[in-house]
Amino acid sequence: MNKINKFIFLILFFLLSQSVHAQITLKNPSFEDEPADATVPMGWLPCERGSTPDILPGFWGVYEEASEGETFVGLISRENGTWESIGQRFSQILETEMCYKMSVDLSKSENYTGYDNPLKLRIWIGNGKCDKDQLIFESPLIDNSDWKTFDFEFIPESRSKYIILEAFHSEGKFSYKGNILIDNVSNLKVCSKA
């Protein structure tokens, strides 16, 4: 192999290896599973005590269509001040000083058997299972019944292995019945730092 061919081979190898590492994947980011109430979708785990997410549609009066695929997940808050969250481990560790971008589709059901008030979604990253080390995204209160896509970018403050999706209302005490519907969480891509 002459020098030019070796050089081209090295450049192609470098570009291919960069494209493989440019995306960090999640397991089942579209929450595809058999619809069921009080069930964590495949690939995800409950994080907040009392988290009993629902794989929808078909339960609790929720019959909206998924934004992607066949099913989506519903998280709620309760009158006793508790709320639900789910998480999982990334396919690779997120590195500090790297910019990542991702997106998520959010909606609210007008009829979730009484859990009908709007919630917001908070997304955390952490180094341990269900650790909330850094808040990377917080939506507004979601009161739209149609799906809306939210794009965001973040830079990890420390190396992180896990992601957590958390239904939430506001800081401090809150105690009402609310819901948020989540679908089509994107894989993470490396972005350019601003």
Question: Domain limits of the chain?
Answer: 25-191
The tens-digit pLDDT sequence of the chain (194 residues) is: 666 655 554 454 444 444 444 589 999 999 999 999 999 999 999 999 989 999 999 999 999 999 999 999 999 999 988 999 999 999 999 999 899 999 999 999 999 999 999 999 999 999 999 999 999 999 999 999 999 999 999 999 999 999 999 999 876 666 899 999 999 999 999 997 65
- H/E stretch holding 94 reads strand 85-94
Report the predicted TM-score, pTM, of the whole model to 2 decimal places.
0.86
For the stretch 162-182, pLDDT in tens is 999 999 987 666 689 999 999
Instruction: Measure the CA–CA gap between 126 and 131, rounded to whole angstroms.
Output: 5
Q: Report the CATH number of the 25-191 domain.
A: 2.60.120.260
Which residues, other chains included, contact 78 with Cβ-Cβ below 8 Å and sequence gap of 6+? 50, 115, 175, 177
